[in-house]
Amino acid sequence: MGIVASKPWGGVFAEATDRRVEKFTESVSFDRRLYAQDIRGSIAHVEMLAKVGLVSAEECQQIIAGLEAIRGEIEQGTFAFRIELEDVHMHIEKALIDRLGDVGRKLHTGRSRNDQVSTDLRLWVREAIDTVNGRLVDLQAAFVSRCAADRDCILPGYTHTQRAQPVLAPHYWLAYCEKFERDRQRLADCRRRVNTLTLGTAALAGTTLPIDRHDVARRLGFEAVAGNSLDASSDRDFALEFAFVLSLVGEHLSTWAEEWILWSTSEFRFLKLPQAFCTGSSIMPQKINPDVLELVRGKTARLVGNVTRLQVLLKGLPLAYNRDLQEDKEAIFDSYDTVVACLEVAAPLVAGATLNRDAIAAGLDRGYLDATTLMEWLIKRNVPQRTAHEIVGRLVRKATEREVPLAGLALNEFQEIHAAIDPSIYEILGAERAIAAFQSYGSTAPQEVDRQIALWTERLQSTPTSAS
Ligand code: ARG
């Protein structure tokens, strides 16, 4: 036995590892989170080893029982983690050898930690994707749950944060559903590439042993088997993709959070946030602050940062495994924890907020939300678009001078600017009438909003939420 007998790789070493190096190189403080995936992967691996005759059926049973006992210890909190054993993979293997002696020493046949860690991470990300997906559905369901009650509430729609055109409240809610739906699609697409077996690529070149990788893939539910060992042991595209998709979830959440922070101010007064999702000030007694929304917005920084972290980590790494790759996990864990935490507070906050209908309605006459509808009314009467734009621009100028909405101008005032305007113009003026005039597919027209509500209600009925 070498001087570093406590290490699975200790044979060649004549000098003990410096304590500072053990502290510097360890990953068990964070990768212990992969214990269940590691044990699951090892069980599939040893079952395959038994199938191809590299271990006996009896040895296989002993190893599986040992691994399950170790899982029990970890779950009960009685398992001792110590940094000399570097990572979760070596801990579990060492514990197995302590239990089983030579039989335990067979588990690592035909694999290396390089493919083991990649496999564990893929199993973990696959589950993480499913969890995030469920939480996204919860949030979509929260938006959809508001639609019926808010159906007739007209809000100003904005461009450049300036009042633009009227929009029905559910049109806003379902806009977010669309964004989160694309995130779900991206997750599903990412999952396809995650769901590839890398185990059995061994260190980098494969193995001379008669392993059956397709058998392991079936046992672990992987849809494909990585076809090039060099690529597979170096590949962290899936981690970067996952982090990127989560960063995009964050972008969407931060847009929503920002909007609702504005809407809940006393300047806007569109929205009352549920008090259970607000916090107060230690000095200003009157304050009810949207800290939850601000943190959702703020935490997006981490999600974007983690993408950058992984991109820089992977840039310029030569094939195949390099220890740099150990740095991938914390970025992914952090992005996952952050997104799940945000989604868990976002859904009840969305469901629990109330629209301040009176304040919203009182302000709808401001901002000439009906100006574009008026322009289109002229276009329908064969006025060229550029001319109609000019006419309405002049009408808005006149109304602004008189400090009235467009509907506040008298017919002769309209006719001074465009003689062909007749009294039917008043049928489309005002936010409510302007809304009714919309008709294009995907617009905020009442019938289009109803189509969307029906579609999302049906879609979510057939989609499992995180609770189901
Ligand atoms: N803890 C390492 C990681 O997370 C495991 C792989 C170590 N492999 C090696 N050849 N040292 O990447």
Q: Is 7 in the pocket of ligand 1 (CB under 6 A)?
A: no
Please state the rounded mean pLDDT for residues 173-181.
98
pLDDT cut 90: percent of the chain above it: 96
What value does the mean pLDDT take over residues 131-137? 98
Q: Whose CA is nearest to atom 11 of ligand 1?
A: 323
Residues 281-317: b if buried by 16+ CB within 10 A, e if exposed: eeeeeeeeebebbebbbebbebbbebbebbeebbeee
Q: Are 263 and 149 in contact (CB under 8 A)?
A: no
> Predicted confidence band at 212 (pLDDT cuts at 50, 70, 90)?
very high
As a whole number, the mean pLDDT across the chain is 96
Distance CA 136, CA 347 (A): 9
**Which residue lies with its CA nearest to atom 3 of ligand 1?**
326
Position with higher pLDDT, 284 vs 247: 247
Is pLDDT above 90 for 4?
no
The residue whose CA is least distant from atom 12 of ligand 1 is 326
Does the pLDDT at position 1 exceed 60?
Answer: no
Q: Do domains 114-362 and 371-461 have the same CATH topology?
A: no
121 ligand 1 Cβ < 6 A? no
Judge if the beta carbon of residue 132 lies within 6 A of ligand 1. Answer: no
Centroid of ligand 1 to alpha carbon of 215 (angstroms): 24
What residues contact residue 105 under an 8 Å CB cut-off, 6+ apart?
97
Tell me the pLDDT band of 462, cut-offs 50, 70 and 90: confident
pLDDT > 80? residue 465: no
How much is the pLDDT for 467?
67
Indicate if ligand 1 lies below 6 Å from the C-beta of 108. Answer: no
Distance CA 404, CA 431 (A): 14
Ligand 1 atom having least distance to the Cα of 325: 12
Q: How far does the centroid of ligand 1 lie from the alpha carbon of residue 33, in Å?
A: 15
Q: How far is the CA of 128 from the centre of ligand 1 (A)?
A: 21
pLDDT bin (cut points 50, 70, 90) of residue 466 is confident
Q: Is the C-beta atom of 338 inside 6 A of ligand 1?
A: no
Q: Is the pLDDT of residue 235 over 90?
A: yes
Q: Region 408-423: what's the mean pLDDT?
A: 97
Catalytic residues: 160, 281
Pick the residue whose CA is nearest to atom 4 on ligand 1.
326
**Rounded mean pLDDT of 96-111?**
98
Among 3.40.50.2000, 2.60.40.2700, 1.10.10.10, 1.20.200.10, name the CATH number for the domain at 114-362: 1.20.200.10
Question: How far, in Å, from the CA of 94 to the mean position of ligand 1?
Answer: 15
- In this prediction, residue 5 has a pLDDT band, given cuts at 50, 70 and 90, of low
Pocket test for ligand 1, best of 35, 114, 322 (most atoms within 8 A of CB): 114
For the record, the structure tokens of 186 come out as 């991206």
Specify whether the CB–CB gap between 63 and 104 falls below 8 A.
yes
DSSP 217-233: HHHHT-SEE-S-HHHHH
Per-residue model confidence (pLDDT) at position 6: 75
124 lines ligand 1 (CB under 6 A): no
Q: Is the model's pTM score more than 0.85?
A: yes
Residue 303 Cβ inside 6 Å of ligand 1? The answer reads no
If you measure from the C-alpha of residue 441 to the centroid of ligand 1, how many angstroms do you get, rounded to a whole number?
A: 53
Question: Is residue 27 within 6 Å of ligand 1 at its C-beta?
Answer: yes
Instruction: Give me ligand 1 centre to Cα 88, in Å.
Output: 10
Confidence of residue 219 (pLDDT cuts 50, 70, 90): very high
Is the pLDDT at 197 greater than 60? The verdict is yes
Instruction: Give per-residue pLDDT as tens, 333-360.
Output: 999 999 999 999 999 999 999 999 999 9
Instruction: Work out which ligand 1 atom sits closest to the CA atom of 203.
Output: 10
How do the domains of the chain map onto residue ranges? 18-109, 114-362, 371-461
Q: Is 334 in the pocket of ligand 1 (CB under 6 A)?
A: no
Q: How far is the CA of 114 from the centre of ligand 1 (A)?
A: 6
242 ligand 1 Cβ < 6 A:
no
Distance separating alpha carbons of residues 253 and 54, to the nearest angstrom: 51
Q: Which CATH class is domain 18-109?
A: mainly alpha
Mean pLDDT, residues 374-380 taken together? 97
Note the helical H segments in 403-445. Answer: 411-417, 431-437
- CATH number for the domain running over 371-461: 1.10.40.30
Pocket test for ligand 1, best of 29, 117, 333 (most atoms within 8 A of CB): 117
The residues near 409 (Cβ < 8 Å, ≥ 6 apart) are 395, 398, 399, 402
Residue 468 pLDDT level (bands cut at 50, 70, 90)? low
Residue 463: the pLDDT is: 84
Closest approach atom of ligand 1 to CA 27: 1
Q: Which amino acid is at 282?
A: S
pLDDT at 8: 84
Is 150 near ligand 1, meaning CB less than 6 Å away?
no
Looking at ligand 1, which atom is closest to the CA of residue 87? 1
